[in-house]
Amino acid sequence: MQQKPIFLTILDVLSIIGLGVATYFALVYAPTEAVMGNVQRVFYFHVGTAWVALVGFVLAAVSGILYLVTKDMKWDRFELAAVEVSTMFFFITIVLGSIWARPAWNTWWTWDPRLTTAAVTELIYIAYFMLRAGIEDPEKRARFGAVYTLLGGISAPITFMVIRLFRTIHPVVIGNASAAAQGGFDMTPNMLTAMFIALGAFTIIFIDLMWHRIRIGALEEKVEHLKLKVSM
C-alpha cells in the first residue's frame, strides 16, 4: 500500500488548526452585531462553507468535461470527490442559514431565490449519487456522471435567474442588496477579518478532504483490480 504523503498529514494538522482559529475569530474576536446579536456569528461559517461548496461544484463540472475529453479515470475520481465534499458542505451551509433565518426572518425556511436554488442544487447532486449507484460498469458510471454534473452545472444558474423573477429577501452583504432584503448588516473591519479567516480555513479543509477522497477513490480502484485478479 502507498504511504500517506507527508504533505497530506501536514494539511490534516493545518485543517484542524484552521478550524480552531476560525472558530475563535467567529465566536470571540468578531464584534457582536448590533441588531441581531450573537446569532449573526453563524454568518462566518455559513459563508465559508458556501464558498467551498460552490467552488467544488464548479470543479466537478470542469472535471466532468475533462473526463469526457480525455477519458482518464483520474478526472472521474476528482469529480466524485468534488461532488461528495461539496454536497456535504452545502448541506452545512443550508443548515447554518436556517439557524440564522429563524431569529432574523422569523422562519426556518422561505422560498427565496437563493434558498430555492440551494435546495434544487442539493437535489441535483443527490440525484447524481443515485445515478452512479445504479450503474455497475465503472467506465459508463464515469461517463454518465460527467454528463449529469455538466447538466447540473448549467441548470443551477438558470434556476437562480428564473426564481429571481419571483422575489428575494436574502441579504447581500457584499455588493448591492435589493430593497426588499431583510437582515442585512454592514461589516466592520474586525468582522471582515473573521470572514476571511473562515474562508481561508474552509478552503484548507476542503483541499484536505478532497485529497483524502481522491486518494480513497484511487485505492478503491486498486482493490477492485486486485479482487478481479484473485477471482480469475
Is residue 158 a contact point for other proteins (CB under 8 A)? yes
Select from 105, 144, 185, 196 the one that contacts other proteins (CB under 8 A): 144
Is residue 159 a contact point for other proteins (CB under 8 A)? yes
Q: Which residues are CB-contacts of 20 (< 8 A; sequence separation ≥ 6)?
A: none
For the bound state, the minimum distance from the C-beta of residue 213 to other proteins, rounded and expressed in Å, comes to 23
Q: Is the dihedral angle over the CA atoms 48, 52, 57, 58 positive or is it negative?
A: positive
Draw the binding track, 179-218, toward other proteins (x: CB under 8 A; -: no contact).
----------------------------------------
Name the residue nearer to other proteins (CB basis): 16 or 120. 120
Select from 2, 6, 28, 136 the one that contacts other proteins (CB under 8 A): 136
For the bound state, the minimum distance from the C-beta of residue 94 to other proteins, rounded and expressed in Å, comes to 15
For the bound state, the minimum distance from the C-beta of residue 154 to other proteins, rounded and expressed in Å, comes to 6
Q: Using the CB atoms, write b or e for 89-127: b if 16+ within 10 Å.
A: bbbbbbebbbebbeebbeeeebebbbbbbbeebbebbee
Provide the residue type at 155 as one letter.
Answer: S
For the bound state, the minimum distance from the C-beta of residue 69 to other proteins, rounded and expressed in Å, comes to 10
Q: Find the angle CA(78)-CA(82)-CA(84) to the nearest 5 degrees.
A: 115
Name the residue nearer to other proteins (CB basis): 120 or 218. 120
Q: Which 3 state secondary structure label does DSSP give 170?
A: coil
Q: Which residues are CB-contacts of 73 (< 8 A; sequence separation ≥ 6)?
A: 67, 138, 139, 142, 221
Q: What is the dihedral of CA 165, 166, 167, 172, to 10 degrees?
A: -50
For the bound state, the minimum distance from the C-beta of residue 155 to other proteins, rounded and expressed in Å, comes to 5
Select from 8, 14, 151, 173 the one that contacts other proteins (CB under 8 A): 151
Q: Which 3 state secondary structure label does DSSP give 37?
A: strand
Binding to other proteins (CB under 8 A) within 102-131 occurs at 120-121, 123-124, 127, 130-131
Q: Can you tell me which residue has the cell 452545472? A: 153
Q: Which residues bind other proteins (CB under 8 A)?
A: 68, 120-121, 123-124, 127, 130-131, 134-136, 140, 143-144, 146-148, 150-152, 154-155, 158-159, 161-163, 165-166
